Structure 1
């Protein structure tokens, strides 16, 4: 798997594409997320 990642990054660099930053995915139940403080600030990250 490491070889695949390395090859993909090399191709992106050669093509002048930006390498994306790693992301985090959290699964939170809707009823829990509704009760989070500052939920308006995190709304843009909710999918």
Structure 2
């Protein structure tokens, strides 16, 4: 029971970490390259409804 709960938390943390990285990359892209940032934002909207 504890093991499965730990795995679930680990999986959630990995997803959260990956989304955080994706978010920062998107923000950085918007600042550096507006057209690329807009494209990244479209992908972001597609991934996160």
> Normalized against structure 1, the TM-score is what?
0.35
Question: Which structure is higher in helix share?
Answer: 2
Q: Which has the larger radius of gyration?
A: 1
> Normalized against structure 2, the TM-score is what?
0.34
